[in-house]
Amino acid sequence: MQDLKFDLKHLGDFEKAAIVSDKTWLNLAAKVAGFSPNLEVKTFSFAEKEQAQQWIRR
């Protein structure tokens, strides 16, 4: 939850955000964050953690 608060506070400071969680409500949070025109948001399950790390580095 603290990571999400940090992300929302600094929403304009990032170009990408990878959300890694198995909580379905975070998909909604990702969509809300996706309303920022300069932020690309993608969600990943815990099983996809490595893919999330690779995606965020690109």
In order along the chain (58 residues), what is the average pLDDT of each group of 10 residues? 76 82 79 70 92 95
Owning domain of residue 37: 2-57
- In sequence order, what DSSP letters do the residues of 22-37 get, joined into one string? S-THHHHHHHHHTTST
Q: What is the pLDDT of residue 33?
A: 62
Q: Record the tokens describing residue 18, joined without a space.
A: 């990878």
Distances (CA, A) of 45 to 12, 13, 18, 30, 58: 24, 24, 10, 13, 19
Total structural domains within the chain: 1
